[in-house]
Chains A and B, each alone.
Chain A
Amino acid sequence: MGIFLDENTKVIVQGITGRDGSFHTKQMLEYGTKIVAGVTPGKGGTEFNGVPVYNTVEEAKKATGANCSVIFVPAKMAADAILEAASNKIELIVCITEGVPVRDMLTVYQYVKKQGVRLIGPNCPGLITPGVAKVGIIPGHIHTPGRIGVVSRSGTLTYEVDYSLTKAGMGQSTCVGIGGDPIIGTNFIDVLKAFEADKNTDGVVLMGEIGGNDEELAAEFVSTMTKPVVAFISGRTAPPGKRMGHAGAIISGGSGTAEGKVEAFNKVGVKVADTPSQVVQLLQEALKNKK
């Protein structure tokens, strides 16, 4: 049933009593996500919407057996929150927080890897396995269960494409927003590997953008996959040297251009949509050709 997130996922919310944390906890509960605990230092012993709140991740994990944590704490404390979750061997850590200093993420990345746990984000919308659970801020009702996997560096652009898939009757197995920062815990290849191995996924949509070389590496990996992949790359009109909202969306020193990424996908036979609305049709064709 989808990747990374299924009916056995028991979630802690770090920063459950904050503005975003509390709002999205309600949304996740409504969608059916198993939220077993919240963590806000100093508010241990209280409850939020029926969810027990603890002072530390350690207490929360001990009491509930949680295996996932979603982080809504402010950027100043986000690295610390990720380290706390990783130190307690929470298997899946999803960091929604935007604006985490890259220097912090460099050390966090190495530690998370050493602990053998998975980090998604930061600066990401989270993930959803439609009909089962969602972790993060992705709107639930524009999704429907199905067999298409979606992986993306952005938020609303993904919702746009997810919604058009839903309207075209193409449900999703899991949609993963990996985040728009330069250093993120889970990259395209990690997610593509999981979709390739997932019995419930038939084809994949990859939404990339300018900056870095993750798309180029992903293209190399796609050439080894048996499942069809279609892509979209945003930022074809972005000027070099300017940060386009996401800290990671920047063309620097002539690398990370949209052209380079489109070319990398074309080279391995992956169709790249010119506009987001073409994704559905390209995917339908790719699935048909595969059969």
Chain B
Amino acid sequence: MKLHEYQGSELFSQAGIPTGAGHVVTTIEEVEKLKDSLGDLLVIKAQVHVGGRGKAGGVKLAKPENAVEVASKILGMDIKGLTVKKILVKEAIDIDKEYYLGVIQDRANRGVTFMASVMGGVDIEEVAVTHPDKIIKVTIDPSLGLQEFQVREIVFGAEFPVELRTQASDFVRKLYKVFMENDCTLAEINPLVVTKNGQLIAADAKVETDDNADFRHPEWEDMRDLDGSDKLELDAKKAGLSYVELDGDIGCVVNGAGLAMATMDVIKYNGGKPANFLDIGGSSNPDKVVTAMNILMAKPLKAILFNIFGGITRCDDVARGLITAFEKIKVDIPVVIRLTGTNEEVARDLLEKAGYKVGSSMDEAIKEVVALANNR
């Protein structure tokens, strides 16, 4: 799950990492109330899950006297298709210098890797390309935990001057704690700001958590953002399905994630546009198929493709499940079904007798569904 900046800041703040004064609000009235409590200069930041919100006009400075005007421009604005429903109103920090501090679950090194840089405030991937010598990377073995020598490697590597080293070390230790305790896959402070008074402040918070760890964090339930396609994805997840919306018009229902991705790819390869990724998992349960179809048809489609490999679950069982499901839902667009594996001939017979188009090979079925969609 991607956390909003204000949610990430809250985690930091709970762990004792200074984040600067501020409040998240959803209405202009709230801005009116708090505008005079945060100093002479405020920064108002849209809370949406897209990159580049600053460039899109979603982050602006304001004085207390024009805070309401600025906030009302940001609240409700559209950034890359998402409506801004929450804004973070913070005191603007008197910035002396900006650092970068981040930590990730590192697949390649099978550890937890800190990255730090004296060049903060810009995209760290850009720094990695232009100034690779300005990023220090330190990988921690989580079974040993963060060691003090590693804290030193990070703090010296990021070129913190002597008067900031104690504070910076403290940031590193606390960030590691936040990261591990919250099953984060990513926790990033960019920029890590040095104020004119020599204080370190986490001026932004980018945090992502591991969905596999949902079960030990019941508190996450309330933190989820239920906008647009995210909501459908969550509905699907609750039903034991895995769904990702794409921008095409051919709906796909597939069992298995790898096969589902390959199905999308072959649709594109044949000149069609997949509308989604959908993995219905191993079973042929008709209820699951009905749920899948309802999620799929929440948006306009031109055709639907089923691509099912019957392994342990036999194809004829899958076919019976599909027929039962189709009796429960009205579908007025073409459906192409492709089944392969155990008992596929029996399955094909059953489906054809019930009046469905059945493809034998994956390529043929996909060519057919693409032709049907392109003719509508």
Contact = CB atoms under 8 A, between A and B. Distances in A.
A33 B168 CA distance: 56
A7 interface: no
A106 B183 CA distance: 11
A183 B110 contact: yes
Interface of B: 105, 107-108, 110-112, 125, 141-143, 180, 183, 185, 210-213, 215-216, 242, 244, 246, 254-262, 264-269, 274, 277, 279, 309, 311-312, 340-342, 361-363
A180 B257 contact: yes
A160 B125 contact: no
A249 B346 CA distance: 34
Contacts of A244: 242, 244, 257, 260-261, 277
A137 B309 CA distance: 14
Given A103-B183, A103-B213, A236-B268, A160 B261 contact: no
Chain A binding surface, main DSSP class: loop
A188 interface: no
A238 interface: yes
Which 7 residue pairs of A and B lie closest in terms of their CB atoms, listed nearest first? A154-B258, A245-B257, A156-B256, A157-B258, A139-B311, A101-B213, A234-B261
A159 interface: yes
Contacts of A152: 258
A219 B312 CA distance: 32
Q: Interface range on chain A: under 10, 10 to 19, 20 to 34, or 35 or more?
A: 35 or more
B362 A275 contact: yes
Contact of A106 (B112, B125, B254, B341): B112
B259 A157 contact: yes
Given A111-B143, A139-B311, A141-B342, 11 more contacts: A24-B312, A101-B183, A102-B213, A183-B110, A232-B262, A237-B267, A238-B244, A244-B244, A245-B258, A246-B258, A275-B269
A153 interface: yes
A235 interface: yes
Q: Is the interface of B mostly helix, strand, loop or mixed?
A: mixed
Nearest to A239: B246
Interface in A153-182: 153-160, 163, 180, 182
Interface centre among A23, A152, A183, A234 (most CB of B within 10 A): A234
A227 to B, nearest CB: 23
A85 interface: no
Contacts of A248: 107
B309 A156 contact: yes
A106 B142 contact: yes
B258 A210 contact: no
A155 B215 CA distance: 24
Contact of A157 (B107, B143, B256): B256
A100 interface: yes
Interface string A225-247: 00000001011111100111111
A243 B142 contact: no
Interface string A105-120: 0110111000000000
A152 B108 CA distance: 18
A218 to B, nearest CB: 13
Nearest to A185: B110
Given A163-B340, A232-B262, A237 B246 contact: yes
Contact of B211 (A107, A235, A247): A247
Contacts of B110: 106, 109-110, 183
Nearest to A247: B212
A183 B106 CA distance: 9
24 contacts: A101-B213, A103-B142, A106-B105, A106-B111, A141-B342, A152-B258, A154-B256, A156-B259, A156-B309, A182-B105, A182-B107, A209-B261, A213-B107, A234-B265, A237-B267, A238-B277, A242-B244, A245-B260, A245-B261, A247-B212, A275-B265, A275-B363, A276-B262, A276-B362
